[in-house]
Amino acid sequence: MKKLQKTQLQPFFAALAANASLYLPVDNEVGKAEFKKWQDGVQMSTALNTLRSAKDFFFPQTENLMEFKMEGKRIDVIDTREECEDFVLFGVRACDAASFAILDRVYLVDPVDTYYKNRREHGTVVTLACGRPAETCFCGTFGIDATDPAGDVTAWELADGYALRANTEKGEALLASVAALLTDTDTAEVEAEQARVRAILARLPLSGLTTEGLGEGMTKEFFARPEWAALSEACLGCGTCTFVCPTCQCYDIRDFDTGHGIQRFRCWDSCMYSDFTKMAHGNPRTSQLERFRQRFMHKLVYFPDNNDGIFGCVGCGRCLARCPISMNIVKVMKALKKGGAEQ
């Protein structure tokens, strides 16, 4: 394990940025954290989570896929992709790091999404263990350890510096590139910090939330449950929950006439929208109840059914904080489990 003194943080960022584009959480003009490209003088945010997750770097909100040029009956298909830059994400939290593994199960299986794969190959993820978990956090429900996040490199903030541990070949290469700024250290300080944070996690309001009674094989049990009507009644269908979610993966593909050809692009979509998956004969889910149920059944039942029991949520708490009507996956989990106990 290596250690970086806090006085060396800016030189550390400069050294990383010399070899690849560096992105880290930075406070915006209203004091909310967003991932921004580092440049000299930029200060890293102390916020627990960014407004939107780091998935944007691998699955961006919009991206061009290809162009079509037409001359008479001749159609040329043009690959508009440029070689992806090497980049480093610093300060990714455990929940967001866990979301990458969920997205990998969608985009890196046959047929592989080469756009996503390209970005994954060029990105190096440096996670930062949580020091001040929020009341909306419940990553532990899904087996995620906020004090020991995954990633190519794991970092822990200590009183006078940062402890760093390489987890992959990419991580080892990154630490080797900045070796002159690092010193060797033992694990004692890290273990003490982990114990402090785990004590906080144990006292959080959602620390007792479990997935017991949820997951694979529960479609028949939950699909027709009466609780869906009350849960979905106030839903605005705004899609905020899907756009801040680090694991939502739905998208739409559209063609745009540029006047010089056709540009095909894809953009995030939401199962909460009335025109989601709309086909020639109409929308297969005509009510907000059906759309609401689809979102949460996917997270809690359908995804586990098809992915070895792994849930489609990482407990980041963004939907708890951002939903304008205060509806979220925690309330759904509790309602379904409570209803099942009463039946």
pLDDT in tens, 206-261: 999 999 999 999 999 999 999 999 999 999 999 999 999 999 999 999 999 988 88
- Listed as own residue / partner, the contacts of 83-87 with beta carbons closer than 8 Å and 24 or more positions apart are 84/118, 84/119, 84/121, 84/122, 85/20, 85/21, 85/122, 86/19, 86/20, 86/21, 86/122, 86/123, 86/124, 87/20, 87/21, 87/22, 87/23, 87/57, 87/122, 87/123, 87/124
* C-beta separation of 11 from 17 below 8 A: no
Query: pLDDT for 9-40, tens place per residue?
Result: 999 999 999 999 999 999 998 989 999 999 99
Helix (H) or strand (E) holding 99: helix 94-107
Distance CA 33, CA 162 (A): 20
What value does the mean pLDDT take over residues 267-276? 88
Residue 328: which of 146, 200, 206 has the closest Cα? 206
Structure tokens at 16: 């990383």
150-161 mean pLDDT: 97
Helix H or strand E segment including 199: helix 188-203
| pLDDT 10s digits, 98-150 | 999 999 999 999 999 999 999 999 999 999 999 999 999 999 999 999 999 99
> What global pTM score does this model have?
0.91
Cα-flanking dihedrals φ and ψ of residue 92, to 5°?
A: -75, 130
Percent of the chain past pLDDT 90, that is, above it, reads: 86
Q: Over the chain, what is the mean pLDDT?
A: 93
Give yes or no for residue 320 having a pLDDT over 90: yes
What's the pLDDT tens digit per position in 41-55? 899 999 999 999 999
Q: With 70 as the cut, is the pLDDT of residue 303 above it? A: yes
Residue 283 pLDDT exceeds 70: no
pLDDT tier at 82 (50, 70, 90 boundaries)? confident
167-182 tens-digit pLDDT: 999 999 999 999 999 9
| Whether residue 1 has pLDDT greater than 60 | yes
In the prediction, which pLDDT does 343 show?
34
DSSP string, 111-124: SP-HHHHHHHHHEE
CA-closest candidate to residue 181, choices 333, 16, 32: 16
